Amino acid sequence: MNPDASPTARALLALELIQNQPGITAQRLADRLEVSDRAARRYVAILREAEIPIESVRGPYGGYRVGRGLRLPPFTFTATEALGLVMAVLDGHHLVSDPGDPVGSAIEKILRALPESVAAQADTVRRTTAPAPDRGSARPDPGTTTALADACASQHRVRLRYHSEAGSSWDLEADPWAVVVRHGRWYLLCWSHHAEARRVYRIDRVSAVEKLSATFDPPRDLDPVVELEQHLSSGWEYPVEVTIDSPADLVARCLPPALGLVEAVGERSSRLTGSTSDPAWYAEQLARTPGPYRVTAGAEVTQAVRRLGERMLAAVDPA
């Protein structure tokens, strides 16, 4: 380190080391700062005088760490981290340049707090990039989402006010297992006491959340993403079954999980069972199947596959 650096600069470097290595000892901190143990403790004292909550834990596994306080402690980003943060927000189609949007306001505060050399590239991307909105996405109310995530973490039953796509609404009680984000939509995976079954509800259609005193134990070995995909592939109007001349593991990698459940039938063939409300879409997805396949059940999907095949043949052989 530069021997002419000011005590404030050394204190800020000490803060960065403590943030990046929670539990760092005074001796290790002194070694990294290239100062004595006494000087390292003095820099920690400077941080505490600035009301930055630096905690110290005694013992062989103790050391310094940044605690939680009323004031947000200073934090540091590299230029790559700042750019990655803005790009991640843009992926979610947030209005990062709109100060009236909560996410846009938060990004602006972060970039304003960073050194100009670090924030410049990220700020350029933020101001000049125009994300194309995902028309299928639906961002839920942040307060509703926070309340449901909190209930999932504390394992408390909730009472929801839910609105269907058709406009009807009803109250229900549920054990919230997990909040899952899929293709721009936020879902609550839960046990519905209203339906006495596992259910998935879109969080953007929840208008009220009340955490109840009753608690629950979630299922063991629950995989929220797998559970959601399986749920979204069942219960639709048109059931379908497809036999595929390819191994199940290969089919599962090539087809969207929302098509249904893929099971092995011998070593080199598999079966897909599911349902859909859109046979034409389902037929288009089946075209990605890695090998010959036959629709063995589901008249609606069978017709959609036939129509799609006729269109594709006409495209290469108009006669």
Residues 246-267 have pLDDT tens digits of: 998 898 888 888 888 888 988 8
In words, the CATH class of domain 7-66 is mainly alpha
Inform me whether the pLDDT recorded for 70 exceeds 50.
Answer: no
Find the DSSP H helices in the chain.
7-20, 26-33, 37-49, 79-91, 102-113, 116-128, 142-154, 224-232, 248-254, 279-286, 299-316
Contact between 132 and 142 under an 8 Å Cβ cutoff? The reply is: no
Inform me whether the pLDDT recorded for 150 exceeds 60.
Answer: yes
Residue 204 is classified by DSSP as G
Domain ranges within the chain, ordered by starting residue:
7-66, 79-128, 142-222, 233-316
Highest mean pLDDT among 67-81, 200-214, 227-241: 200-214
Contact between 99 and 89 under an 8 Å Cβ cutoff? The reply is: no
Inform me whether the pLDDT recorded for 317 exceeds 80.
Answer: no
In words, the CATH class of domain 233-316 is alpha beta
Q: How far is CA 293 from the centre of its chain?
A: 34
Q: Give the 3-state secondary structure of 240-307.
A: EEEEECCCHHHHHHHCCHHHCEEEECCCCCEEEEEEECCHHHHHHHHCCCCCCEEEEECHHHHHHHHH
236 versus 171: the higher-pLDDT residue is 171
162 versus 2: the higher-pLDDT residue is 162
Minimum mean pLDDT range among 7-21, 104-118, 152-166 = 104-118
For residue 142, what pLDDT is reported? Answer: 83
Would you identify the CATH topology of the domain 142-222?
SH3 type barrels. (2.30.30)
256 versus 203: the higher-pLDDT residue is 203
For residue 61, what pLDDT is reported? Answer: 62
- Residue pLDDT, tens place only, 276-305: 888 999 999 999 898 899 999 999 999 999
Residues 169 and 162: their CA atoms lie apart, in Å, by: 5
Inform me whether the pLDDT recorded for 77 exceeds 80.
Answer: no
